[in-house]
Structure 1
């Protein structure tokens, strides 16, 4: 492989082709970044709508940078910033009436770490030690004459099943799902004092540029609740993070630099982590890349030079391991390798890196992640092409599909959390709360710049909230006047295009309950025409569920746009709060009363709030409503067709999120058909899916009572 005099150029170009094929190209990177930043904006906007103005959500890490592939299976990294606390580095930044925390660095703190001293909120003075005598607080501790905030302050809010991993609360080991890391932090508006020298440093690569540094300086820093490896203040030390500045650096990289980083992560995962206790991290690889770019000429970072660039990075990493010192890029005094590498692992890592460097790229042929090694062999004509691996077009479509599903689930989850926040038994109160939400959302939208991500986030949330508001108003209208007001219809019309079906089904449901069967049938027929069974995929933020199958046409269409295609190819579940009960057919109302007091003990009140509502998959509800509407219109053939479609959906649709509800509705249709054995079978299957918090328990009792009464009447 290395006899070609133009060897390094040839391999670099072929390697670049392979990385392009597996999705590491400008188009897919930008698409990944847009998706993750949109989710970030949406969750922060959700907090603002909920009145949590002090809470900001950031998605950092590989997925937000576009520095990952399908095979790398990167985690989701989320930082939730609570800005109720004013973290300062200088007394001049103190603010009255705020919770002020002063960052302290002394001889006891490690480089890149600090202590947080609690200050008074009425005048710029330290909180006196005697404060804890009067108001005990387990999150504060007096040390060396100062009242300091412990880094365990966020531990009290951690849910069951969460693993503590450094500063992160991690959700791990769920088959079919990536791990999720959640980090709580405070933000400091000023740039870290320890990183001031970085603003002045300049390497031969003239990167970062002066403009980038000026921007980075404005991002300030976070303080993250974790101490250094060998800290003297294990419970009190906080790590200083410049994640926003690092995002700026990552977004400035060209595609060759990004590919180099991804190759380093593949090498780490393939060769080093399995043998060396995972002592090296991808963040170290990123830091190595930064140092390498800063100290090499910018014209080196070209596709035809990818392999030498990679060897340069691996050589720097090898030197860092030898010295047991990997200087943090913005805070170089912070040694990322301090206390992490044992003598045995140090020798092993050095040996592995040496072999890879000396192989002149041949070691890359052993990388199985994303079939990189095999694909490179094909590009180099070392083996024949293979047909059973995904093509570049399929890979790009699969990535786009995952991104669209991620966006759809985020939209649905935000809608669910907003409904959870404003839920109430009283219709008038919920109506007022939803109206206020829509007013706030409109004001936020108008303040945003043209064509920004914030506006896109608002456009995705507004239709779902509009449909909910229309349904709440319609429920009151039906209860009082047995009709639907023009106000309710106006809100319904705004919500029609949230997705393929959910807004239309909310309208059809209200029309059915108001007795307007002709218009209900028209809306349902229109919805069925839009719901292409070969293209549309269900989406829900209620339950995190692994997708067992996705339609090929859906995958193909995902590749042709961003979040806007959701309107045509995604079907959200349909949600009804209890105060919408008059907009819900009797059969679905049972779902609002699924939980006994004993059942509630089995629920996670944060994740299972929807169990007090009626929630159903769109396709299920479409056919159920058709069955009921055609029954009312006495169109028997159409009614039986709808029932057959409902049966087929329950039996064959692999991605139903609320299958137990679908079975409960089907069972009640069977009761209407006097097919009691089939109805009982539906309820029993439903209970096999969800034993508790299931309306089937009530429906079985009701059915058995009906059967007994029928038998008694027959005997009489």
Structure 2
């Protein structure tokens, strides 16, 4: 039941077709109307309907904020306070995903001190709580929420989600300017006709950039430290990268580790990590783009 709540409240929006429009401004306007309808339902309904809406609204605020920020940054405009107000309202989605998207806005706007502060906050939340890491797109039959946990804590589902669950961080292409580094390649993981043939209807998430929040935290910490030195080596570097990747969207976590290896100049190590990623998911894997890039760089270097 918890899986269903996660999937339909947090992930099903990406199936609506609302993101299909090419023009980001159109998507933002349509999505704003969608949010207003949800807000109206939230004010006028009770019981389970209101609970369901209250779960999904913070995720919608986060999507709206990052789309608007991406548009502003792309046009070299100052990010208005309205966007950060939306971000504030989004922070009750779950423990990590909306906070990491806010950090992404700051990082992409070159406001590195603010990005570093958010990342330290997320790191502290992950350190101090029992976190259940989840993806709204991939069902893991091995994880156990268990009636024991919910009974022992005597908490509502929404309380568990907001305080103990770290959902994957999700970006659509309308948020692309706020997607740092090589994570952008995840939008283009379907490379060949053969790749397309391996995709199921349920694989719509492959048109998104979806990354485990813990892996993405480490990656953003690394990029922030590399850019500014604002974070300590302990907090930012992948000192033991192979122990960092997670059980959800593991190939993406490996691709980010590989990129860090590239940035450190360790091309052989990066290649090995990308090969690990490909072995896990031979089709529809952005690792191929990274491997092509390494080969191209070596050829051009010669």
Q: How does 1:520-531 map to 2 (within 5 A)?
A: 520-531=115-126
State which of 570, 586, 590 in structure 1 corresponds to 2:165.
Answer: 570
Matched, 1:416 2:14: yes
State which of 418, 430, 444 in structure 1 corresponds to 2:41.
Answer: 444
Higher strand share: 1
- C-alpha deviation, 1:601, in angstroms: 2.6
Matched, 1:695 2:286: yes
Q: 2:272 & 2:241 partners in 1: Cα distance?
A: 15
Q: 1:537 & 1:646 partners in 2: Cα distance?
A: 21
Q: How does 1:616-627 map to 2 (within 5 A)?
A: 616-627=211-222
Q: Report the counterpart of residue 497 of structure 1 in structure 2.
A: 92
Q: 2:77 & 2:298 partners in 1: Cα distance?
A: 33
Is 2:61–2:90's contact at 8 Å kept on the other side of the alignment?
yes
Larger-Rg structure? 1
What SS does the aligned partner of 1:498 have?
coil
Q: 1:424 & 1:541 partners in 2: Cα distance?
A: 23
State which of 512, 515, 540 in structure 1 corresponds to 2:110.
Answer: 515
- C-alpha deviation, 1:634, in angstroms: 2.4
Q: How does 1:177-576 map to 2 (within 5 A)?
A: 403-418=1-16, 420-449=17-46, 452-481=47-76, 483-532=78-127, 535-547=130-142, 556=149, 559-560=152-153, 561-563=155-157, 564-576=159-171
What SS does the aligned partner of 2:75 have?
helix
What SS does the aligned partner of 2:237 have?
helix
Q: 1:627 & 1:635 partners in 2: Cα distance?
A: 10
Matched, 1:708 2:302: no
Per the alignment, do residues 482 and 647 of structure 1 end up closer, same or farther by CA in structure 2, a change over 3 Å counting?
farther
State which of 585, 600, 607 in structure 1 corresponds to 2:202.
Answer: 607
Q: 1:707 & 1:697 partners in 2: Cα distance?
A: 15
Is 1:424–1:579's contact at 8 Å kept on the other side of the alignment?
no
Is 1:404–1:566's contact at 8 Å kept on the other side of the alignment?
no
- C-alpha deviation, 1:639, in angstroms: 6.6
Per the alignment, do residues 468 and 557 of structure 1 end up closer, same or farther by CA in structure 2, a change over 3 Å counting?
same
Q: 1:636 & 1:508 partners in 2: Cα distance?
A: 14
Is 1:482–1:514's contact at 8 Å kept on the other side of the alignment?
no
Matched, 1:583 2:174: no
Deviations 1:530-587 (A, max 9, x none): 113761011112122333x5599x9646632121221111111111111111011131
Q: How does 1:672-683 map to 2 (within 5 A)?
A: 672-683=263-274
Per the alignment, do residues 630 and 708 of structure 1 end up closer, same or farther by CA in structure 2, a change over 3 Å counting?
same
Q: With the length of structure 2 as denominator, give the TM-score of the two structures.
A: 0.91
Q: 2:255 & 2:279 partners in 1: Cα distance?
A: 12
Per the alignment, do residues 518 and 607 of structure 1 end up closer, same or farther by CA in structure 2, a change over 3 Å counting?
same
Q: With the length of structure 1 as denominator, give the TM-score of the two structures.
A: 0.40
- C-alpha deviation, 1:669, in angstroms: 0.5
Is 1:415–1:464's contact at 8 Å kept on the other side of the alignment?
no
Q: 1:674 & 1:541 partners in 2: Cα distance?
A: 35
What SS does the aligned partner of 2:92 have?
coil
- C-alpha deviation, 1:434, in angstroms: 1.2
**Higher normalized contact order (CA 8 Å, seq sep 6+, divided by chain length):** 2
- C-alpha deviation, 1:484, in angstroms: 2.2
Q: 1:469 & 1:460 partners in 2: Cα distance?
A: 16
Q: Report the counterpart of residue 671 of structure 1 in structure 2.
A: 262
Q: 1:570 & 1:693 partners in 2: Cα distance?
A: 28
Q: Report the counterpart of residue 228 of structure 2 in structure 1.
A: 633
For the aligned residues, what is the CA RMSD? 2.3
Higher helix share: 2
Unaligned stretches of 5+ in structure 1? 1-402
- C-alpha deviation, 1:404, in angstroms: 3.7
Q: How does 1:70-89 map to 2 (within 5 A)?
A: none
Q: 1:463 & 1:537 partners in 2: Cα distance?
A: 19
What SS does the aligned partner of 1:608 have?
helix
Is 2:18–2:30's contact at 8 Å kept on the other side of the alignment?
no
Deviations 1:7-32 (A, max 9, x none): xxxxxxxxxxxxxxxxxxxxxxxxxx
What SS does the aligned partner of 1:644 have?
coil
Aligned positions, number: 299
Per the alignment, do residues 565 and 482 of structure 1 end up closer, same or farther by CA in structure 2, a change over 3 Å counting?
same
- C-alpha deviation, 1:597, in angstroms: 4.3
Per the alignment, do residues 495 and 508 of structure 1 end up closer, same or farther by CA in structure 2, a change over 3 Å counting?
same
What SS does the aligned partner of 2:229 have?
coil
Unaligned stretches of 5+ in structure 2? none
- C-alpha deviation, 1:645, in angstroms: 6.1
Q: 2:274 & 2:77 partners in 1: Cα distance?
A: 32
Per the alignment, do residues 520 and 586 of structure 1 end up closer, same or farther by CA in structure 2, a change over 3 Å counting?
same
- C-alpha deviation, 1:441, in angstroms: 0.5
